[in-house]
Amino acid sequence: MRLLITGGAGFIGANFVHYWARRHDGDRLVVLDALTYAGNRASLPELDEGRLRFVQGDIRQQADVEALLREEEIDTIVHFAAESHVDRSIAGPEHCVAVNVLGTLSLLEAARCVWLGEDRVAHRFHHVSTDEVYGSLSAGQPAFTETTPYAPNSPYAASKAAADHLVRAYHETYGLATTISNCSINYGPYHFPEKLIPLFIVNLLEGRDLPVYGEGINVRDWLHVDDHCRGIESILAAGSAGELYNVGSRNERGNLEVVKELCKAVDVAFAADSDLATRFPAAPPAHGAECASRIRFVRDRPGHDLRYAIDPSKLEKELGFAAEVDFASGLRQTVQWYLAHETWWRAILARGSYREWVDRQYGDAEEASA
């Protein structure tokens, strides 16, 4: 296969590149990424030029994307590129819509022009979407299936829902061979430290508080990023054009439960390795305190969805998908990854734009909770 991976320098995209390179030797991988604040070339593996090419560019530059599709004879697009953070979409919805909706439209147009022209090319356009398009569940409601009506609540979720509809329309109207995956929340390596798990790990290592929104009762269905990649792999291998597949692992947990488990994993890591107290002297276990002592409840996210839960039965039954990483070991591995890749996250923390975001976001929240 000759794959174009948009957003391949972001969290899931980069993990997908690592995953695919490990398992598909002969394939050509071309990453197209604008390197926004969330993109990071250092997240990509070092592979020879015959296997991996990195192109810095915007999915909204349709002519450039068309040229790249032709030059590289791409047959498969895996579309990750997006503004992916709910809090940032609340702070600035226009940009989120411009990238997620118009960017996806532009990419679809490029694919249509190149693949459905006079010389029709065998192809697949896979769009990576989210469970957030389905809206929020109350405590006893059944998990989202592929026929659950869309009811997005945040600007981010609305923009992903709009993009999903465009992908569907390009299949129905023009015959583009599309598939969509709606995935639950991911965790794992190379995760930008503005999202819950990586933010809380680096906060602990730096001796900062852990700002839990509201009462920490919101439930998410946590999936290790490798299992997400495995799900996309099975869709690319055997998914039917025009279909939508939910990806999840039936791992619902409240935020406070996740945070407490994370705290325990960091406590255990420090207990097992005395060097960590020297490397991270501000971390609670370096001076005899438990990580959970840094939990603080702060002002809730506006429109904070109570619960997401994915029913992955279709993917399991039709395509043989099975999630493999259990949450406790996935979380431990993730903590170990951040401990072993301090240079990766310190480079992000050193950026003025990162500190500005964190101060604006949590300065306000802490004032509100005081």
59 sits near ligand TYD (criterion: CB under 6 A): no
Residue 100 near residue 129, CB atoms below 8 Å? no
Which of 58, 227, 233, 267 forms a contact with ligand NAD (CB under 6 A)? 58
Residue 133 near residue 150, CB atoms below 8 Å? yes
Site for ligand NAD in 1-30 (CB under 6 A): 6-7, 9-13
Rounded-to-integer distance, Cα 47 and Cα 162, Å: 35
- Nearest residue to 250 via CA among 123, 118, 111, 131: 131
The least distance separating ligand TYD from the CB of residue 315, rounded to whole angstroms, comes to: 20
What is the sign of the dihedral through the CA atoms of 107, 110, 111 and 116?
Answer: positive
20 sits near ligand TYD (criterion: CB under 6 A): no
Cβ-Cβ contacts under 8 Å for 227 (sequence gap 6 or more): 247, 249, 323, 324, 325
263 sits near ligand NAD (criterion: CB under 6 A): no
| Selected catalytic residue, list 58, 83, 131, 252 | 131
By rule CB under 6 A, what string of x and - marks binding of each residue 298-327 to ligand TYD?
Answer: ---x--------------------------
The amino acid at residue 292 is A
- Nearest residue to 318 via CA among 146, 121, 73: 146
Active-site annotation holds for 261: no
Helix (H, G, I), strand (E, B), or coil: what is residue 77? strand
260 sits near ligand TYD (criterion: CB under 6 A): no
Active-site annotation holds for 209: no
- Catalytic residue numbers read 131-132, 156
Binding site for ligand TYD (CB under 6 A): 85-86, 185, 195-196, 199, 211-213, 218, 220, 255, 301
Binding site for ligand NAD (CB under 6 A): 6-7, 9-13, 33-36, 38-39, 58-60, 80-82, 84, 99, 103, 128, 130, 160, 183, 185-186, 192
